Amino acid sequence: MKNINKKLNDSDTQKYFVVVNQKYIVNVESTSSGGAEHVILDNIKHSKSAMAFSIMEIQTDTFQGWLKDCETISYDELKRKDNHAIAKGMERINSYIQESEWIQERIDNELKEIEELEEKISLIKANIEIFNEQKKTMDAERKEFARKADLDDTFTDIDTIQDLLSA
The DSSP line for 6-74 is PPSSGGG-EEEEEEETTTEEEEEEESSHHHHHHHHHHH-TT---EEEEEGGGTTSHHHHHHHHHSEEE-
Q: Which residues pair with 71 in a beta bridge?
A: 24
How confident is residue 4, by pLDDT bands cut at 50, 70 and 90? very low
What percent of the chain has pLDDT above 70? 83
Is pLDDT at 3 greater than 60 in this prediction?
no
Tell me the pLDDT tens digit for each residue of 63-83. 888 888 899 999 999 999 999
Tell me the pLDDT tens digit for each residue of 116-156. 999 999 999 999 999 999 989 988 888 887 777 666 666 66
d(CA 97, CA 117): 30
Give the C-alpha distances (Å, rounded to integers) separating 166 from 114, 122, 153, 161. Answer: 76, 65, 20, 9
d(CA 167, CA 158): 14
Tell me the pLDDT tens digit for each residue of 93-102. 999 999 999 9
Is pLDDT at 157 greater than 70 in this prediction?
no
The predicted structure's pLDDT at residue 145: 79
Higher pLDDT, residue 11 or 148:
148
CA 128, 132, 137 angle in degrees (round to 5)?
Answer: 150
The predicted structure's pLDDT at residue 1: 42
The predicted structure's pLDDT at residue 153: 60
Is pLDDT at 159 greater than 80 in this prediction?
no
Higher pLDDT, residue 153 or 166:
166
Average per-residue pLDDT for the chain: 85
